[in-house]
Amino acid sequence: MDVDASNMKKKTEKAVVARQAVRLPCACANLRRAARVMTRLYDAALRPSGLGVAQFTLLQALTIAPGMSQKQLAGLLEIDSTTLTRTLAPLRHVGWLRSTAGDDRRELRLALTAAGKRAYTRALPYWERAQDEFIQALGAESWNRLMELSVQTADI
């Protein structure tokens, strides 16, 4: 092997090592790091739709469970009220979200407007592509286990 090939091999090996995540002793640190990686992956995939993963998640949740109260949505997503209000604001501003009074007048029920449903439908193929790529990268068995563990973790 010549010197140039040897140097290239060393640089490639260093690059691979630099990209391998290190198992940290703290579960929280590992999960937060994984969440940041996943957020970047899904944000990049959704970019052509004009949505970020936070907005897409809200559209998805309200598609699955329309008429949910803001408090219920916050609980489902484990988001504090202030963050949820801030994330919902742009959806309201563009007319994708409708709020109606619940049984208790202090409670707001949330639902997507027709425009919000169209925005979700337009973004869905980008999300599905990211989801499929992630499943392929992990393998179906690991993917299913990750999904189970993430839900189990959220129940703690």
Banded model confidence at residue 101, pLDDT cuts 50, 70, 90: confident
pTM: 0.81
Beta bridge partners of 9: none
Strand order in the sheet with 68-69: 68-69, 108-112, 97-101
pLDDT at position 137, please?
92
Half-sphere exposure of residue 155: CA atoms within 13 angstroms, side-chain side:
6
**Domains of the chain by start residue, with CATH:** 33-154 (1.10.10.10)
pLDDT tens-digit readout, 13-34 = 444 445 688 998 999 999 999 9
- Residue 29 main-chain phi, psi, to 5 deg: -60, -45
Instruction: Tell me what percent of the residues of the chain surpass a pLDDT of 90.
Output: 78
pLDDT of residue 107: 81
| 113 band by pLDDT with thresholds 50, 70 and 90 | very high
Mean pLDDT of the chain: 88
Return all residues near 147 (Cβ < 8 A) that are at least 6 apart: none
CB 49 within 8 A of CB 91: no
Half-sphere exposure in the Cβ direction for 11 (13 Å, CA)? 6
CA distance from start to end of the chain: 55
Q: What is the pLDDT of residue 80?
A: 95
What pLDDT does residue 53 have?
Answer: 96
Question: What per-residue confidence (pLDDT) applies to 16?
Answer: 45
